[in-house]
Amino acid sequence: MSNDTKNNGNTNATSPAPVSNFLRAIIDNDQTAGKYARDGMPTVITRFPPEPNGYLHIGHAKSICLNFGLARDYAGRCHLRFDDTNPEKEDQEYVDTIMDSVKWLGFDWNNNGVEHLHYASDYFDRLYEIAEYLIGAGLAYVDSQSAADMATNRGDFSRPGVNSPFRDRAPAESLDLLRRMKAGEFKDGEHILRAKIDMASPNMNLRDPAIYRIRHAHHHRTGDNWCIYPMYDYTHPLSDAIENITHSICTLEFQDHRPFYDWIIERAAEGGFFKKPVPQQYEFARLNLTYVVTSKRKLRQLVEQNIVNGWDDPRMPTIVGIRRRGYTPESLQLFCERIGVTRSDGWIDYSTLEGCLREDLDPKAPRATAVLRPLKLIIDNFPESENIACTAPIHPHHPELGNREFTIGKELWIEQEDFMEEPVKGYFRLFPGNKVRLRYGYVVECTGCDKDENGNVIAVHCNYFADSKSGTEGSANYKVKGNLHWVNAADALEAEVRLYDRLFTDANPDAGGKDFMTLLNPNALEVVRAYVEPGLATITPDTRLQFERHGYFVADRVDSVVGKPVFNRVTTLKDSWGK
Ligand code: ATP
Ligand code: MG
C-alpha cells in the first residue's frame, strides 16, 4: 500500500504506525486510480459530523480518531461539521463542548492555517436552492397528506408504498407551496417537501423521502430566519459535496441510507451544483464497549435522573467524563488504533481501554505515596518529635527526573490491610514478631497493637532498627519480605480520594432488551479520606500520577485545589476486574 504518512499539520496527535484496514485499502486504490486528483486539493478530505444535541462519548472518539487520523496519514484534511438541522434539540453549549473535546483528543480542523469548521446551517441557502431546482426538474414535490396518511401510504418492509395524491402536482404549484412554506404561511406539518423516487422501492429510504419540513423553531445559529428545515438525509450528503469531501465515513446503520446519499448528490451534480468526482460513503462498525452505554439518549437519562453528577462525572463514558476521570488523549488514540476498524459488529472489553491508559502512563507518570485506609503505626523506640529526611525516586526508571522528599517520624500512617494481629498463611506484612521494611525508611519489628472497646485495631506498635535506613550500608544486613508504604503523620497531607469503578455490573447493560437502569454498579464510586505525601500540597489540577500499589490517579480538574487535593482513580495497576 502507498502509505503516505507525512504530517501536514492537521493534527498535533502522535500516533503509532498506522495499521491497515479496509478504509485505507479503499483510499490506496483511489489514489492509485487518481480518483480525487483535483487541482490544489488534497486527495483525502474527511469530516467528523456530530449533531450538537449532546456530549460526545467514547464511540465518537473512535470516529474522530478515524477521520482525523486518515486525514493526517494521507496528508489530507478533516473538517469538523455540525449537522445542525434539528433546532429544537440543539444548542451552542453542545457546539462548544464538542469543539473542546476534539481539540483535547489532539486533533485540529485548522489545516495549514485554514479553519475547516463548518455548520450545515451555513448551507441553508444553497440547500434551499437545490430544493427549488429539484422541483423544477420534476424530482421533488410538496406533499400535503396528513402525517397519518403519509405513514400508511409509505408501506412497510413487506408491502410497497402507495403514491401520494399530490405526487403529480405541477412543479409550479409545488414551487409556490415551498415558497409559501418558507415564508411562514403554514403551520408545522401542514406540508412537506419530498424527493420523487419510487414508492415501491424495497429500500424504505427511497420511498419519496422527506427533504424539507416546516418547523417554527428558533435555531441556535440562524435565529428565526427559517421556519423550514432540511432533513438530515438530505443535508448530510449535500454538505459533504459542498465541502468536497472525498471519503464520507459513517457507522453501519447508515448503509441503507447510502442509495439516497448517492441519488441526491447525483441529481444535484446533474443540475450543475457539483463537479465530479463526488463524495462516496463508507460504513464501519460502531464501537460497543462493555460496561458502558454509548447512546446520547441513555447518557442523558443518567444525568437527568441524577445517577451521576453531570455529563463530566468521571464514571461517564463521555469524552468530558473520561477526561475528568484522568484518561489521557494519547491513551484514547492508542485505544482507537488498537481496536481497529472493521465492518463487523463486536464488543470491545473495557479492560482494553484501561490497558491503554496503563501503557501510556507507566513510563511517564510520577510516583507518589498515598495511604487510602489509614491505620496509625507507632514506632515506640523512635526519638520523640524527631523527623528524619527520606527520599524516593520520582520515577523508578527515570533517575533524571530526580527525587521526592518527605520525612519519617515516630507516628506514621499505614494501610489497614498491612497489619493482621493473627496472620493468615503466607501473610508477610505486619504482625506481632514480624519484621518489614518501611519503604525508603527503616526496618521495623511489630510488637503489638491497641484496640478500642469493640476490639477494632486503632494503632499498631513497633520498634525500628536505626542502622537499617534505605540507601545506607547497614540496610543490606536486613532481609525482610514485606515492603510497606507509609506516610509520616507529622507531615502527611489529608486528601479526598475518589475510587471509581465500572458504572454497570453487566458487561452489556443495554443489549438484548435489558434495562440498563437496573444494572447500575452501586460501588462505582467510593470516597475515602486518605493521607498522601507532603510534596503533593503543590499538585495542580489535571496532574496525573501513580500511587504505588493503588493505581493511576489524577488531581480532579474541577474539585482539586492547590493545597487541598482531590484525586480520582483512573484505574488500578493491574486488571483485577471480576477476578
Ligand atoms: P448517539 O447514537 O449516541 O446519539 P449519534 O450517532 O446520533 O450518537 P452523531 O452526533 O450523529 O451522534 O454522531 C457523529 C458521528 O459519530 C457519526 O458519524 C456517527 O456515525 C459517529 N458515531 C456515533 N456513535 C459512534 C460509535 N459508538 N462508534 C463509532 N462512531 C460513532
Ligand atoms: Mg446521529
pLDDT of 14 higher than 70: no
Counting ligand 1 atoms within 8 A of each CB, the residue from 84, 102, 251 with the most, and so the one to mutate, is: 251
Helix, strand, or coil here: 372? Answer: coil
Burial of 33 (0-12, 13-18, 19+ CB in 10 A): exposed
Instruction: Give me the pLDDT at residue 19, please.
Output: 76
Distance CA 71, CA 112 (A): 13
126, 154, 215, 286: the active-site residue: 286
Label residue 7 by pLDDT band (50, 70, 90): very low
Instruction: Give me the pLDDT at residue 578, please.
Output: 54
Query: Could you say which ligand is closest to the alpha carbon of residue 318?
Result: 1
Instruction: Compute the average pLDDT of residues 12-40.
Output: 84
Strand blocks (E) in 394-518:
403-408, 411-415, 435-438, 443-451, 457-464, 482-484, 487-488, 493-500
Distance CA 336, CA 394 (A): 30
* 457: nearest Cα among 426, 432, 476: 432
Instruction: Give me the pLDDT at residue 408, please.
Output: 98
Say how many Å lie between the first and final Cα of the chain, rounded: 42
Please check whether residue 60 is in contact with residue 50, taking contact to mean a CB–CB distance below 8 angstroms.
yes
Q: What is the DSSP annotation of 287-321?
A: P-BTT----HHHHHHHHHTTSSSSTT-TTS-BHHH
Longest dimension (CA), the chain: 102
Residues of the binding site for ATP: 51-53, 57-63, 251, 286-287
How far apart are the CA of 565 and the centre of ligand 2, in A?
39
Fold match, 287-361+493-579 / 367-488: yes
pLDDT of 145 higher than 90: yes
- Taking residue 542's Cβ as centre, other Cβ atoms within 10 Å add up to 14
Instruction: Give me the pLDDT at residue 6, please.
Output: 38
Which residue's alpha carbon is nearest to atom 22 within ligand 1? Answer: 60
Q: What is the pLDDT of residues 497-535, one digit of tens each?
A: 999 999 999 999 998 889 999 999 999 999 999 999 999
Domain ranges of the chain: 124-231, 287-361+493-579, 367-488
Q: Name the CATH superfamily, with its identifier, for domain 287-361+493-579.
A: Ribosomal Protein L25; Chain P (2.40.240.10)
Instruction: Compute the average pLDDT of residues 187-214.
Output: 98
Q: What is the pLDDT of residues 89-119, one digit of tens each?
A: 989 999 999 999 999 999 999 999 999 999 9
Instruction: Give me the pLDDT at residue 22, please.
Output: 96
Distance CA 257, CA 236 (A): 11
Query: Could you say which ligand is closest to the alpha carbon of residue 60?
Result: 1
Which residue's alpha carbon is nearest to atom 23 within ligand 1? Answer: 60
Instruction: Give me the pLDDT at residue 386, please.
Output: 96
How far apart are the CA of 59 and the centre of ligand 1, in A?
7
Cell reading at 387: 523527623
Q: What is the pLDDT of residues 418-475, one digit of tens each?
A: 999 999 999 999 999 999 999 999 999 999 999 999 999 999 999 999 999 999 999 9
81, 182, 258, 296: the active-site residue: 296
How far apart are the CA of 94 and the centre of ligand 1, in A?
14
Distance CA 354, CA 571 (A): 6
Beta 77-82 vs 117-119: how paired, if at all?
parallel
**Is 296 assigned a catalytic role?**
yes
The answer to whether the predicted template modeling score (pTM) of the entire model surpasses 0.85 is: yes
How far apart are the CA of 56 and the centre of ligand 1, in A?
8
How far apart are the CA of 184 and the centre of ligand 1, in A?
33
Instruction: Give me the pLDDT at residue 16, please.
Output: 52
Label residue 575 by pLDDT band (50, 70, 90): confident
Which residue's alpha carbon is nearest to atom 9 within ligand 1? Answer: 50
- Residue 509 makes CB contacts below 8 A (sequence gap 6+) with 291, 292, 293, 516, 519
Matching CATH number, 124-231, of 1.10.3720.10, 3.55.50.30, 3.90.800.10, 3.40.50.1820:
3.90.800.10
Pocket-forming residues, ligand 1, beta carbon under 6 Å: 49-51, 59-60, 62-63, 250-251, 286-287, 294-296
Label residue 577 by pLDDT band (50, 70, 90): low
Instruction: Give me the pLDDT at residue 3, please.
Output: 39
CA distance to 97, 301, 316, 331, per residue, from 576 (Å):
33, 29, 20, 19
| Percent with pLDDT over 90 in the chain | 94
Distance CA 293, CA 316 (A): 9
Which residue's alpha carbon is nearest to atom 13 within ligand 1? Answer: 50
| Percent with pLDDT over 70 in the chain | 96
Q: What is the pLDDT of residues 275-320, one digit of tens each?
A: 999 999 999 999 999 999 999 999 999 999 999 999 999 999 999 9
Mean confidence (pLDDT) of the chain: 95
446 forms beta bridges with 462
Instruction: Compute the average pLDDT of residues 51-80.
Output: 97
The vertex-519 CA angle with 516 and 525, nearest 5°, equals: 115
- Residue 178 makes CB contacts below 8 A (sequence gap 6+) with 131, 132, 135, 142, 193, 212, 228
b/e per residue 77-104 (b: at least 16 CB within 10 A): bbbbbbbbbbbeebeeebbebbbebbee
Please give the torsion angle defined by the CA atoms of residues 287, 293, 295 and 300, in that order, rounded to the nearest 10 degrees.
-150
Fold assignment, 367-488: Ribosomal Protein L25; Chain P (2.40.240)
Q: What is the pLDDT of residues 340-359, one digit of tens each?
A: 999 998 899 999 999 999 99
Counting ligand 1 atoms within 8 A of each CB, the residue from 23, 63, 78 with the most, and so the one to mutate, is: 63
Tabulate helix, strand, coil % of the chain (nearest 5): 30, 25, 45
